[in-house]
Chains A and B, each alone.
Chain A
């Protein structure tokens, strides 16, 4: 069983304490942990269990139930392709397939270099600009299959610049 670094323990404890006056705050705790720690592995769940008294199996059941919670770290850039109806009828499945093909991973997976994760989104409410792709919060409107390579390169170039 991997051990948590003391900085991680401090962060998780801080988050749990943030909600100590709220009734049944597990979802709020997990949302903040996902946002601030990046993922929710078993070690973190055990700590939350110790601090809140909720059994580990219940926390694990919640983490694996909701799509937003992840047991493993996500890529630096999370590519969310919306497969909501409005986007789907405008061909977003083809866009998803193209991202998959270009990056060599399936949806839900992360590239080996840790840069990209592909996620299927179920309607982000941007139906008017379907098909929509959201990358780390930035929404790309009316994406075409042709645009996919361009978009991926946009982020690959960012990485090169940084280096």
Chain B
């Protein structure tokens, strides 16, 4: 790409010609406040009018988030008119915004609050009517509050881009415009996946996870044995909540923090991941040997399961009946663990810390039988840690509790990354079929299909094809092939969130404006950085296959029998709903 010469505040710079003024200024050390652009400028509606600057020769003020740079351009950010205009835009937005910042769950992460400070917003001058408010707290996973919505349009773009189902859209016009599911319904009454991708991009508290911190507090207060488990993806990102650079491993400190929060036991969901692999690999082998329904598709992502039930219920026979890892851990805690410790399962309260908002919905499904009592996102855990006054940086590294459910393999760790479940499952399936340990899979991109990777696995002469993808927009072509009977695969891993759980709806916010010191390339590749934490941990493990997990081996020997046993079926498997209505009659 060619370079152009521009001037910012009178100083000369050279930047790539394809950039917007906003991006170019960032690269040159000037952060222009903005609210509606995300992906640090790559997506923008130019609707918030907060990023206005003066460009010599252009008529009036210009929105820097969409205005392309050109040779000889002279940009003024701090001119009187631009500064006042940016402040005015924010003040107008504030005049129609619920300002209970002190009590708002977004306090501390709110981009609007941050921008208001940057532009010097003043006491309210333009006081008038507020737009009609809708508060939707029905769906277990995510909530919506239009009193805080600034109509930036980011969530609409994100849902479309990530999942292709456009649950969110605009309704009405002018001052009456709302953003929400059709008919301003609850998420629970629409085919929303509750994946939380929209929550990740919302600049204010309009879209949030449905907090369950109160539930956990009450359980502790009531004297229950509160057992906490953490998903692999959480450790890959939690350090970011404490100002560490993206890609800082957080396992040791996270466990140390959990040990200081009053939990009865601190377990690793990776144990559950290994358990899932045992059951799922067994299921796969069974289908392959007995000409069962293929391809088999993974089932550990509830965002994906929601999508499947709403849009492709006819492929239910393909879905693995395995519960997801944390649900399996919950089931084992309330049976095997409870028995071993002579505890009444009703006195046990299982909390899962997940990178995910859909898991809040998952655990509430009737088929899941109270295996897990509450799900907290990575962000909610960080809140708990801060609330307890714990200083992250001063924490030592500690180990998970090893009480029956402590051991885990590297295969379990990589569950958090797209392709991880596939790799883990194949390590075990391959071993069971050939008696040999499997070496790394070589994936390559599927031509013509963005973000779908496939591989051919030679299992002692039998070649099976497998595929991996994440994000429903990417999964759709694969599903259509399956629906039409044209799928060439034996096993497919599908994750609800693009990039996998490390990019889940409950992960720390990645907001350029709130992290102005991050280099642009880190922001571009935050998924890769988080993934590398998990891959490194996998490589450091001594045991890298689920079937070699000693605690897993003992669990089967002492309790479950073998994979697929009657007890395993009862505790660790589930069923799906072929009749979910997309838009039920509004109540």
Contacts and interface: CB of A to CB of B under 8 A. Distances in A.
A binds B: yes
Interface of A: 1-2, 42, 45-46, 55-58, 60-61, 64-65
A58 B585 CA distance: 20
A57 B173 contact: no
B173 A55 contact: no
Contact of B583 (A42, A58, A64, A65): A42
B488 to A, nearest CB: 25
19 contacts: A1-B584, A42-B182, A45-B182, A46-B582, A55-B160, A55-B165, A56-B182, A57-B156, A57-B169, A60-B169, A60-B182, A60-B183, A61-B169, A61-B170, A61-B171, A64-B170, A64-B173, A65-B170, A65-B173
Given A42-B183, A64-B173, A65-B173, A57 B583 contact: no
Contacts of A42: 182-183, 583
Contacts of B582: 1, 46
B403 interface: no
B5 interface: no
B180 to A, nearest CB: 9
A57 B585 contact: no
B585 A2 contact: yes
A64 B581 contact: no
B583 A1 contact: yes
A9 B574 CA distance: 37
A1 B581 CA distance: 8
A154 to B, nearest CB: 33
A42 B168 CA distance: 15
Interface residues of B, number: 19
Contacts of B585: 1-2
B88 to A, nearest CB: 26
B168 A64 contact: no
A89 B170 CA distance: 34
Interface string B22-64: 0000000000000000000000000000000000000000000
Contact of B166 (A1, A2, A46, A55): A55
A117 to B, nearest CB: 18
Interface string B55-92: 00000000000000000000000000000000000000
Contacts of B166: 55-58
Interface string B138-181: 00000000000000000010001000011111111100000001
A57 to B, nearest CB: 3
- 3 tightest CB-CB pairs across the interface, nearest first? A57-B169, A55-B166, A60-B182
Contacts of B167: 57
A2 B172 CA distance: 23
A87 B479 CA distance: 58
Contacts of B183: 42, 60
A78 B172 CA distance: 21
Nearest to B160: A55
Interface in B366-409: none
Contacts of B160: 55
A61 B153 CA distance: 13
Interface of B: 156, 160, 165-173, 181-183, 581-585
Contacts of A1: 581-585
Contacts of A45: 182
A55 B473 CA distance: 13
Contacts of A57: 156, 166-169, 181-182
Contacts of A61: 169-171
Nearest to A43: B583
A45 B583 CA distance: 12
Interface centre among A57, A60, A64 (most CB of B within 10 A): A57
A60 B171 CA distance: 7
A46 B584 CA distance: 12
Contacts of A65: 170, 172-173
Contacts of B172: 64-65
A56 B192 CA distance: 12
Contacts of A58: 166, 169
B85 to A, nearest CB: 27
A100 to B, nearest CB: 20
A64 B167 CA distance: 16
Contacts of A60: 169, 171, 182-183
A55 B170 CA distance: 12
B483 to A, nearest CB: 15
Contacts of A64: 170-173
Nearest to A60: B182
Nearest to B168: A57
Contacts of B171: 60-61, 64
Nearest to B176: A64
B462 to A, nearest CB: 39
A60 B396 CA distance: 54
Contacts of B169: 55, 57-58, 60-61
A2 B183 CA distance: 14
A2 B582 CA distance: 12
A139 B160 CA distance: 45
B583 to A, nearest CB: 5
Nearest to A45: B182
A56 to B, nearest CB: 6
A95 B181 CA distance: 38
Nearest to A71: B183
A60 B583 CA distance: 13
A35 to B, nearest CB: 21
B192 to A, nearest CB: 11
A162 B165 CA distance: 48
A2 B583 CA distance: 10
Given A1-B581, A2-B585, 16 more contacts: A1-B583, A1-B585, A42-B182, A42-B183, A46-B583, A55-B165, A57-B168, A57-B182, A58-B166, A58-B169, A60-B169, A60-B182, A60-B183, A61-B169, A64-B170, A65-B170
B157 to A, nearest CB: 12
Residue of A45, A55, A65 most packed against chain B (CB within 10 A): A55
A152 B334 CA distance: 72
A55 B159 CA distance: 11
Contacts of A56: 166, 182, 583
A53 to B, nearest CB: 11
A132 B435 CA distance: 88
A61 B156 CA distance: 11
A2 B169 CA distance: 22
Nearest to A67: B173
Contacts of B584: 1
